[in-house]
Amino acid sequence: MADEKSKTIDVDKLLQNKLKGISIGAMEQGIAKVVSELVGEDYKCSINDVKFSMFSGADFHVKIELTYNPDKD
């Protein structure tokens, strides 16, 4: 039989939710930038109802909207 390496879980890393250190505004800007680049139009993003989990995750509501800019063509 082949040796199977057992994977150890770094509990300290798991319990340190680094998402809490990122501002909601920075996440909104990042998401808006990616969507805008993918679609080729300017979009804005708003995030609300943020709930951080104990194990390095987060649940939140994301709203993406087209930004109307009549000067840009």
Nearest to 42 by CA among 3, 2, 72: 72
Asked if residue 5 belongs to a domain, the reply is no
Asked if residue 9 belongs to a domain, the reply is no
What's the structural domain count of the chain? Answer: 1
Q: Where in the sequence is the domain holding 38, given as residue range(s)?
A: 15-66
User: Looking at residue 62, what is its pLDDT?
Assistant: 97
Between 42 and 20, residue with greater pLDDT: 42
Asked if residue 6 belongs to a domain, the reply is no
pTM across the whole model: 0.71
* pLDDT (tens digit per residue) in 11-25: 777 677 888 889 999
Torsion of CA 23, 24, 25, 30, to 10 degrees: 100
